Amino acid sequence: MARFVFITGGVVSSLGKGLASAALGALLQARGFSVRLRKLDPYLNVDPGTMSPFEHGEVFVTDDGAETDLDLGHYERFTGVAARMTDSISSGRVYSNVLEKERRGEYLGKTIQVIPHVTNEIKDFIRIGEDEVDFMLCEIGGTVGDIEGLPFFEAIRQFAQEKPRGQCVFMHLTLLPYIGAAGELKTKPTQHSVKELRSIGLAPDILVCRADRPIPAKEREKLALFCNVRPDSVIAALDLKSIYEAPMAYHRQGLDQAVLDAFGISPAPRPNLERWEDVTDRVDTAEGEVRIAVVGKYTQLEDAYKSVSEALTHGGMANRVKVRAEWVDSEIFEREDPSVYLQDFHAILVPGGFGERGTEGMIKAAQFAREKGVPYLGICLGMQIAVIEAARNLAGLKDAGSEEFDHEAGKKRFTPVVYHLKEWVKGNHTVARKVDDDKGGTMRLGAYTAILRPDSKTAKAYGTTEIEERHRHRYEVDGKYREKLEACGMVFAGMSPDGRLPEIIEWKDHPWFVGVQFHPELKSKPFAPAPLFRDFIRAAKEVDRLV
């Protein structure tokens, strides 16, 4: 039966609970334990699938088709354990489940209340798969004191009470601000945060204190005394050059040992940290630098492309180069010549996105990459953009477009090279969708198989002709234009198993130009980079002169 670690946060948000959770998971793995990580989010959206990238950052997609918080991406990247639909839940999903049960009469006419019905639903979620792993790490979103988080805090309090003593540990992440005028780190915000936590029945076993400098012994002793934790359970979370230094940094601070001590696991298995020593070495010993232009529409918030950013870093680590990704707003190219902006980059990446805004600029970026021989990676919308560009400029389809942008009847005449997918095969059954369906969860989501051409760059990258990658989209390239496009030199390098849906396109006479309908960045890890990102950075590295 699993031991449970509940990770909470206080003082301010964005301190790195997700990263701390992921690093702890990696360290427990290094000691030979199996782990699973979960995220409990207090927001009322059913899932982040319909939330603006500017509001919430990236939507991370699992193999089984769940749209989840980006922290699950951190969990996967650090542990290599594929996230599942059952690893993420929000208040919206909890309340939706409770109300559906009430409508079905499962509560036998009782008055539905936060306690016990909502808290029981949360506890049932936490219990899923508890017999499968040694440790279950559950991160509670938001900060202690947030009114929307109270049902989750109450649920984990009850859960710990119901479990045998010593089976649950609480880890609390806080901020130690440095006051320059006083010349010292201040512990009072952390003390108040712990006081708030204890007022709702929770007492931290471990304090993880985010700080921009080492924590003096005096402050550690004060935190231990006033927060009622052991001195060796006050862990410093210092600023790092790279997030991939976190497992080694937390190990040096004694986080994994503190957790094992809290559970009474003694003697603790010795850790094997070779994987993370190698990762850290690759971060520290980069030889040279490549500049990648990420031409997209959500460039104001880097978290909107979090997995893309991390996969580029992984590709750089595989090639021992530093990757400098620069975010370029595609709308600029609708007014100005893209060559002025793009000529100094080693490669161009056009990521996924939704809606018409900025797409004409992306088309110009894809054209620049094709004509100038610049390495190009198009992901999801980025592949569709590359197809539209070729259809317009090479295949004679001057009015080529996408139903996503030009679907309004009578708006303008266009050739739908990209169309709304209304039916596809998932496993052994057919999935159907309509244009006016609700937006949430109505896309082609999760892992699907693609069959690759043996002589393609993609097959060479993966080392196989059959792959499985994650999808998140409503629109597909129309295969009926394949013959016209292939006559121009485009290679349809990957198709769905039934041969209907184009999955990958390449250019025959180009150093490295690949567009994929799926999202290879979602499965990339620092110790196992996504093959396409690895080869994309290798191609960028081989550019011996700036364009």
What residues are labeled active site? 380, 519, 521
Q: Who's near 88: CB < 8 A, 6+ residues apart? A: 38, 39, 41, 47, 66, 68, 69, 72
Secondary structure of residue 77 in the 3-state scheme? helix
Number of C-beta neighbours around residue 254 at 10 A? 16
Token pair 């319909």 in the structure block, residue:
50
Q: Who's near 197: CB < 8 A, 6+ residues apart? A: 8, 10, 144, 153, 172, 203, 204
CA 94, 147, 233: angle at the middle one, nearest 5?
95
Rounded-to-integer distance, Cα 475 and Cα 354, Å: 10
Contact criterion met (CB below 8 Å) for 503 and 479: no
Rounded-to-integer distance, Cα 433 and Cα 424, Å: 9
Of the CA atoms within 13 Å of residue 152, those in its CB half-sphere come to: 31
CA-based nearest residue to 319, from 543, 78, 514, 540:
540
- C-alpha torsion angle, residues 41, 46, 50, 51 (rounded to 10): -30
Read off the amino acid at residue 321.
Answer: V
Rounded-to-integer distance, Cα 16 and Cα 24, Å: 12
DSSP class of 311: H
List, in sequence order, every residue forming a beta bridge with 450; answer none if it has no partner: 467
